[in-house]
Amino acid sequence: MPTIPEIVKTRGFAITCELNPPKGVDLEPLKKTAAIVKPFVDAINLTDSHRAKMSMSPIGAAKTLIDTGIPPILQITGRDRNQIAIQADLLAASSMGVENILCMSGDNPSQGDHPNAKGVFDLDAFGLLRAVGALNRGQDLGGSNLRSAPKLCAGAVANPVAPEPKMEMERLGKKLEAGAHFIQTQPVFDAKEFELFASGTKESGVPILAGVIVIKSVKMAKTLNSIPGITVPDSIISRLANSEDLKNTSSEIAAEIISDLLELTKGVHIMAIGWENQIPPILERVGIREKLS
């Protein structure tokens, strides 16, 4: 299955979204949702116990996507496992056909549904990127040779509107040095702000996929505003507050943001958070395939 850089090279633009593996063993809902978005996206992120709320390992869900012909992007965090377990999971994922890996530090367990769980954080995002690179070269982090090496494409995350832009760009530079081959960003609401961020990454040649979140309510918008580095414009909150058809308005807003970003980025990563059935109409509003053909 193609990696994100290969998709960008072939098509010029990549569209991804994300799904949460179930809190249980029933993968049918995930399979049905994946089928809805499959004609519109190039790959699907599978979260790793998103926001520290326990769910099925994304490795299990990745097999479902592969079986249905959808390239998975396996999110893996350093929160829950030490470096031995992480490397073991990476090898297992590769053996099933997973190629795209998104390396993240992960949220603190105190924020999730097991607040007494111990955070491991043996590897942060940089360490995870280095682990992927080592495995690809045929060695583990302990320096031992592998019998055969995986072929994994590591990605990382970035925040285009971080409170401290200089520090964020330095961190991004270190992620690229550690082996990140694609970047997915936190939600973007202002194309001009994103353009400033993107201009500082052009020399790397690494594709940046701008994050676009589908805001489902005023409450959700205000919650996002409480997260450092994310600011939902008042104009968007006002449109949501005065909407008579919230799904339609949310879709309009997401489509407008994507349209503004088309000339500034190599892809978009759509976070619909339970409203994945809105992804097709959002992209149809944009007319994205027609514009990119």
pLDDT of residue 131: 98
pLDDT of residue 293: 59
Contact 260, 191 (CB under 8 A): yes
pLDDT of residue 152: 98
**Phi, psi dihedrals of residue 211, rounded to the nearest 5°:** -75, 135
CA distances 117 to 17, 23, 52, 104, 217, Å, are 29, 17, 10, 18, 31
Output the domain CATH number for residue 177.
3.20.20.220
pTM over 0.85: yes
pLDDT of residue 200: 81
Rounded average pLDDT per 10-residue block, the chain, 293 residues: 95 96 97 97 97 96 96 97 98 98 96 96 98 98 98 97 91 96 96 89 90 96 88 95 95 97 95 96 88 62
pLDDT of residue 249: 97
- Domain hosting 197: range is 4-292
pLDDT of residue 47: 98
Domains identified in the chain, total number: 1
Q: Which two tokens stand for residue 233?
A: 């414009």
